């Protein structure tokens, strides 16, 4: 059709000119994250571009230079795609930084589903992601968990001596723990997959940062085991969002629910 119709050639040419390249889309995501912009400013970045890239990159990575064996003669020609592991790592880093920027932020409903998309690009992830952004992200979640639990302990005695204000204080705690549960479920399924890839390297090389990561995770789950409010809100979060606790950590998973805090703790015992 293109060969016989000047009009078709014009339409295709205009369409090609208006479509962004892969590098353009990756750059848009990176710029959005680095500027710490909010969802409301450019909702298409989180709602459309990131999910699309998370689905697009793994398939074409499997067809690209990192996976396709070619002869020297074929190397002189173009690959069918130039998507590489670097693209996956760059997008994963941006996504993890995006999550870190929104820890504790109420107006971020997309945090409920982000792990379902980003889990697809954890395939051949770089060990460099441990230092940045995984460790700072885990630390931020740990500090927020400690802060909320400290407030709970301070209020525990106060709650026993009150009756009128008890409901409002408990409501605030429940709200904080509900938000914390969302933050954890946006991050831990990705961390579990990353640990599965890197654990042998960490054990063989005695990576201190990996031990530090484990300590952050252990602190969070120790608090989870002590706090009835935390446990209850985590269970409510799972129920309200119809979460399948095992879906996101399965190798074939591309979408779905999140792993429960209890199961996550067992997985992290491998460290």
Look at residue 51 and tell me if it is in a domain: yes
Confidence of residue 74 (pLDDT cuts 50, 70, 90): low
To the nearest 10°, report the CA torsion of 145, 129, 97, 106: -30
The end-to-end CA distance of the chain, in Å, is 59
What's the confidence (pLDDT) of residue 257? 37
pLDDT surpasses 50 at 263: no
Average pLDDT of the residues of the chain:
85
Instruction: Give the pLDDT confidence score for residue 166 in this predicted structure.
Output: 65
pLDDT of residue 264: 41
Q: Quick one: average pLDDT of 148-161?
A: 82
Residue 71 confidence class, pLDDT cut points 50, 70, 90: low
% of residues, the chain, pLDDT over 70:
83
Q: Which domain holds residue 134?
A: 6-270
pLDDT at 12: 73
pLDDT tens-digit series, residues 200-247: 999 999 999 999 999 999 999 999 999 999 999 999 999 999 888 676
Question: Residue 154 domain-assigned?
Answer: yes
Average pLDDT, integer, range 85-95:
97
Residue 252 has pLDDT above 80, yes or no: no
Give a yes or no: residue 1 inside a domain: no
Query: Would the pLDDT of 53 be above 60?
Result: yes
Residue 256 confidence (pLDDT): 37
CA angle 108/120/117 to nearest 5° reads 20
Higher pLDDT, 215 or 169: 215
Residue 98 domain flag: yes
Domain count, the chain: 1
265 within some domain: yes
User: Looking at the domain assignment, is residue 97 inside a domain?
Assistant: yes
Q: What is the pTM of this model?
A: 0.85
Residues 116-138 have pLDDT tens digits of 999 999 999 999 999 999 999 99
Of 15 and 21, the structure prediction assigns the larger pLDDT to: 21
Share of the chain above pLDDT 90, in %: 67
According to the model, what pLDDT value does residue 243 have? 85
Q: What pLDDT band is residue 163 in, cutting at 50, 70 and 90?
A: low
Instruction: State residue 49's pLDDT score.
Output: 97
Lowest mean pLDDT among 77-81, 86-90, 140-144: 77-81
Is residue 257 situated within a structural domain?
yes
């Amino acid at each position: 059709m293109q060969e016989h119709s000047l009009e078709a050639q014009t339409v295709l040419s205009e369409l090609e000119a208006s479509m962004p390249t892969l590098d353009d889309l990756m750059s848009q995501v990176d710029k959005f994250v680095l500027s710490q912009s909010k969802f409301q400013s450019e909702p298409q970045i989180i709602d459309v571009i990131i999910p699309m890239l998370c689905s697009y990159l793994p398939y074409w990575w499997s067809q690209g230079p990192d996976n396709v064996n070619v002869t020297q003669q074929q190397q002189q020609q173009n690959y069918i795609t130039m998507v590489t592991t670097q693209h996956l790592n760059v997008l994963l880093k941006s996504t993890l930084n995006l999550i870190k920027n929104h820890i504790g932020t109420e107006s971020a409903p997309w945090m409920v589903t982000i792990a379902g998309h980003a889990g697809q690009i954890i395939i051949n992830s770089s060990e460099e992601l441990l230092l940045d952004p995984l460790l700072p992200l885990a630390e931020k979640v740990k500090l927020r968990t400690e802060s909320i639990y400290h407030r709970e302990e301070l209020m525990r005695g106060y709650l026993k001596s009150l009756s009128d204000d008890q409901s409002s204080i408990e409501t605030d705690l429940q709200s904080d723990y509900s938000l914390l549960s969302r933050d954890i479920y946006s991050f831990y399924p990705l961390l579990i997959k990353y640990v599965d890839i890197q654990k042998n390297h960490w054990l063989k090389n005695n990576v201190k940062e990996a031990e530090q990561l484990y300590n952050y995770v252990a602190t969070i789950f120790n608090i989870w085991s002590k706090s009835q409010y935390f446990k209850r809100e985590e269970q409510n979060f799972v129920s309200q969002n119809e979460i399948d606790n095992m879906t996101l950590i399965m190798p074939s998973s591309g979408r779905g629910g999140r792993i429960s805090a209890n199961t996550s703790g067992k997985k992290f015992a491998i460290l």
